[in-house]
Structure 1
Amino acid sequence: MTKSKLLIVEDDVDIRTQMKWALANEYDVHLAGDRASALAAFSSIGPAVTLLDLGLPPRPNDPEEGLAVLSAILSQDPLAKVIIVSGQGDKQNALRAVGAGAYDFLCKPVDLDELALVLRRCVYLADLEKEYREIQHGANAEVFEDMLGASPQMQAVFDFVRKVAPTSAPVLILGENGTGKEVVAQALHRRSAQGAGPFVAINCSAIPEHLLESELFGYEKGAFTGAQAQRKGHIESAAGGTLFLDEIGELPALVQVKLLRFLQEKCFQRVGGRQEIPSDARIIAATNRNLQELTTSGKFREDLYFRLAVVVVRVPPLRERGDDMVMVAKAFLHNYAVEHAKPSLTFAPDALRALGAHRWPGNVRELQNRVRRAVIMADGKRVTARDLELTDTLSALPPQTLKEARESVERELIQDALRRHNGKITSAALELGISRPTLYELMEKLGIGREG
């Protein structure tokens, strides 16, 4: 396993060496003794955590040089984790550094056990933030063409898109409402040879039956009452690109015949016209219904079904995607929290519990809408089950065990204390009547970040 990189900025050679040997087994340790070497090392190695002494040459008795290093590091990376290591007499300056963005401070002489605990927690948080940034910027393999998922079910969908997109074959996408069938269709389009062409989407169930034929195929002037000018249909507009037919199971019988002819011959006639018009639009269809049952009952043409279903993919419902649900929920929370100027919002424990228990009949669309509304309604720094309107789901869950109840109370008390003291560990521990190492241990056990 690759060791996390640790940068120690300390002008005292003996202290620097002592800390290196104490931490070398667990970390890839790099050393610096002044501002120039510290900033050069930070830029070149990108450490997970930096231990910074405030008293650096040429003015080792003055904190300004160390504070300048802190400022420069945070300018390079606002999320950098810097722990101040200062003498007892520099405590006010260390607090000043924490106010300027340092993660924490330790007083000299450093207790190595306490240092190890603080570092582990700090590296853990840095790794989580790095992973989340990678997800947001698409660097993680779990993000694919605007879709987020690590479950085997979603990875199968991603593989399908990679294989099928470069072909011109018609595609049939199956899945419940809200699973993201159109997002899959857009991914197929973008990765196709016609990705630069238009992507035209039409919902067959949203257009009145008597208008659907003219919407798809267009019409000539005078074709029917009100047809005062020639108009192109969606198949013509999608030439050189993709036509996405959502809810294809709602297609009327007459339109099914014309669509089948287009799929066979790649040409069509406008309503009221006789001219054969070619179009190379690729057809991608989607439905939440069982087309095979519709063909058996005579409501959907069997020959059209086989033309559409050259390749078929099923988009799984959210309840079948395991841990994807929490991952997607947190991505939505981050996006909407930034949008509404609430960037520090997190999910409360009861919210995560309710999210995991809900059956999500509306799938990703329902999750997206619930999180968006919850971000608007949340009062504090946490989104609760009440904000998500999932209190009924929570009340239906089995009662907690004594251990779970105790941990829930401990979590609430610690989170409240951290919020009141803006994440300052020392102040929160003092209020709770426990030592700082004990607080760190509890935070580790209960999965609590400094923001509470």
Structure 2
Amino acid sequence: MQRTILIVDDEESICKSLGNILLDEGYDILAANSGEEALKLLDEELPSLVLLDIWLPGIDGMEVLKTAKNLYPKLPLVMMSGHGTIETAVKATKLGAFDFIEKPLSLEKIILTVRHALEMSRLEEENLLLRQKINQDYELTGTSPPIMELKEMISIVAPTNAWILIMGENGTGKELVARAIHRQSKRADKPMIEVNCAAIPEELIESELFGHEKGAFTGATEKKRGKFDLAHEGTIFLDEVADMSLKAQAKILRILQEKKFERVGGNKVIQVDVRVLAATNKDLEKEMEEGRFRQDLFYRLNVIPLMVPPLRSRKEDIPLLMERFLADFALKEGEPKKILGEDALAILMEHSWPGNVRELKNFIERLAIMTPSIVISAHDIPPLPKEGHKVEPFRDPVQDYVSGSFREAKMDFEKSYLAKKLREFEGNISKTAESIGLERSNLHKKIKAYGLESKGE
């Protein structure tokens, strides 16, 4: 993409020589001999970068810099001066100048500085677009009263440092809520580290959470930073917190209380500043009554409770969600967006969606793949369970395969089991491997052998 550079200098020869060199480098050039003319050009035709002399007749370069940065904060300006001092350079930098170059000008340095400034500007633009995309990807979709109430609660609690317990059924979007809270918090520019509490083996919990020193145990070939260390000054998200063992809960509680820890095999005390978000699909009060969840940990985490509504309680959001999923799928696959017919929509609105938004998303993607025409009609929809709240039981492999050999029955069972687990973890190989206690490489071989679908990490 061709970039335009505005050269501002009262010496005609400098404007001309700089302009010719930058033209040879492939840039478009604008020139101004005064501060007033420069501001007029900025208003008429915003350039990609400004080379600005400090000593100008009328409005000087510092005033132009100040005005330009107020009007166009993202515009990079490089200051030039033949009477430069350290104080002048510091002042220009504080006012927002990208760099300061002394005269007589080194043409090599000018070209290098221009390239560097434009590259930084490009990266900032890409970063902004990426942030916007992330915000869209993790946006809570819906306008129903339950979801609007949840959005309002998020907007109230997110800017605080309060710890939040997010509750809701599987597939309702608890992770989306956590990410929305982090994005709207004062820690948004710091990391959000997710901990899948259900997936960490008890013997590795300390290493995963707190890290370890080299040689701390067999296999510890190098120092490793733990999740809490990585989340310093940011947010840590304890997903499926109720699935931790009591021993793991005790370790979590200790660091939450003391806000400090030592790496496994180390003796250095590390202070940590994290905001804690936790999520669960279980009734923690019932879990406490039955002795599976620590009461003191519950009260530590449950500063502000948020309940994510199930899809059946906000059915008016289903058309919006379907439209979103169809658009996302079309964008991801580079295909025309499918349209959901009124007859198909009427059928899908009747279903109770026990798997909530996750089930709906997977079903819509399946329809988009399997429907050859642009319009998805009622004829394209496979039969849906009448009683949405009942989970279809896993088939009995003994009854299904009694006619085959033991080896065939074992292979069929393994294929069905792995297919079910992959669906459960949305095709993620790493999460599936952790869940079933199989090495990732072994699982990958079996997936390939059985021709199953996955999406890698």
Following TM superposition, by how much is the alpha carbon of 1:199 offset from its aligned partner in structure 2, in angstroms? 1.1
Deviations 1:274-318 (A, max 9, x none): 322111121110000111111122211111100000001010111
Q: What are the equivalent positions in structure 2 for 1:35-184 lying under 5 Å apart? A: 146-184=139-177
CA contact under 8 A between 1:171 and 1:283: conserved in structure 2? yes
- The one-letter code matched in structure 1 to 2:313 is E
Following TM superposition, by how much is the alpha carbon of 1:354 offset from its aligned partner in structure 2, in angstroms? 1.9
Following TM superposition, by how much is the alpha carbon of 1:342 offset from its aligned partner in structure 2, in angstroms? 4.8
Q: Does 1:321 align with 2:339?
A: no
Q: Bigger shift: 295-304 or 310-319?
A: 295-304
CA distance in 2 between partners of 1:376 and 1:283 (Å)? 39
CA distance in 2 between partners of 1:298 and 1:236 (Å)? 30
- The one-letter code matched in structure 1 to 2:382 is E
User: Matched residues, percent identical?
Assistant: 45
CA distance in 2 between partners of 1:392 and 1:223 (Å)? 52
Following TM superposition, by how much is the alpha carbon of 1:176 offset from its aligned partner in structure 2, in angstroms? 0.8
- The one-letter code matched in structure 2 to 1:255 is A
Q: Which residue of 2 aligns with 1:25?
A: none
Q: Which residue of 1 aligns with 2:348?
A: 355
2:359 to 354, 366, 372: 366
CA distance in 1 between partners of 2:332 and 2:266 (Å)? 50
Aligned residues: 253
1:337 to 330, 337, 357: 330
CA contact under 8 A between 1:258 and 1:268: conserved in structure 2? no
Following TM superposition, by how much is the alpha carbon of 1:341 offset from its aligned partner in structure 2, in angstroms? 5.0
CA contact under 8 A between 1:373 and 1:388: conserved in structure 2? no
Q: Which residue of 1 aligns with 2:402?
A: none
Deviations 1:188-212 (A, max 9, x none): 1111111100111121112222222
CA distance in 1 between partners of 2:325 and 2:386 (Å)? 20
CA distance in 1 between partners of 2:183 and 2:221 (Å)? 36
> What root-mean-square deviation, in Å, do the aligned CA atoms of Structure 1 and Structure 2 show?
2.2
CA contact under 8 A between 1:177 and 1:363: conserved in structure 2? yes
Q: Which residue of 1 aligns with 2:92?
A: none
Distance 1:264 1:329, change over 3 A: same
CA contact under 8 A between 1:385 and 1:391: conserved in structure 2? no
Following TM superposition, by how much is the alpha carbon of 1:348 offset from its aligned partner in structure 2, in angstroms? 2.2
Q: Which residue of 2 aligns with 1:85?
A: none
Q: Which residue of 2 aligns with 1:296?
A: 289
Q: Which residue of 2 aligns with 1:191?
A: 184
Counterpart secondary structure, 2:361: helix
CA contact under 8 A between 2:202 and 2:248: conserved in structure 1? no
CA contact under 8 A between 1:220 and 1:231: conserved in structure 2? yes
CA distance in 2 between partners of 1:303 and 1:365 (Å)? 32
Q: Which residue of 2 aligns with 1:258?
A: 251
CA contact under 8 A between 2:187 and 2:235: conserved in structure 1? yes
Distance 1:200 1:385, change over 3 A: farther
- The one-letter code matched in structure 2 to 1:367 is L
Deviations 1:7-57 (A, max 9, x none): xxxxxxxxxxxxxxxxxxxxxxxxxxxxxxxxxxxxxxxxxxxxxxxxxxx
CA contact under 8 A between 1:246 and 1:287: conserved in structure 2? yes
Following TM superposition, by how much is the alpha carbon of 1:247 offset from its aligned partner in structure 2, in angstroms? 0.3
Q: Which residue of 2 aligns with 1:103?
A: none
Q: Which residue of 1 aligns with 2:212?
A: 219
Deviations 1:376-418 (A, max 9, x none): 2112221134544345559xxxxxxxxxxxxxxxxxxxxxxxx
Q: TM-score, normalized by length of structure 1?
A: 0.53
CA contact under 8 A between 2:166 and 2:277: conserved in structure 1? yes
Counterpart secondary structure, 2:277: strand
Following TM superposition, by how much is the alpha carbon of 1:325 offset from its aligned partner in structure 2, in angstroms? 1.2
Distance 1:296 1:366, change over 3 A: same
CA contact under 8 A between 1:370 and 1:388: conserved in structure 2? no
Distance 1:237 1:341, change over 3 A: closer
5+ residue gaps, structure 1, are: 1-137, 395-452
CA contact under 8 A between 1:370 and 1:389: conserved in structure 2? no
CA contact under 8 A between 2:351 and 2:384: conserved in structure 1? no
Following TM superposition, by how much is the alpha carbon of 1:347 offset from its aligned partner in structure 2, in angstroms? 1.2
Distance 1:258 1:331, change over 3 A: same
Deviations 1:158-199 (A, max 9, x none): 111111111111110001111110111011111111110011
Q: Bigger shift: 315-324 or 290-299?
A: 290-299
Distance 1:195 1:341, change over 3 A: closer
CA contact under 8 A between 1:337 and 1:343: conserved in structure 2? yes
Q: TM-score, normalized by length of structure 2?
A: 0.52
1:233 to 218, 226, 231: 226
Following TM superposition, by how much is the alpha carbon of 1:250 offset from its aligned partner in structure 2, in angstroms? 1.2
CA contact under 8 A between 2:239 and 2:279: conserved in structure 1? yes
Distance 1:383 1:337, change over 3 A: farther
Counterpart secondary structure, 1:273: coil
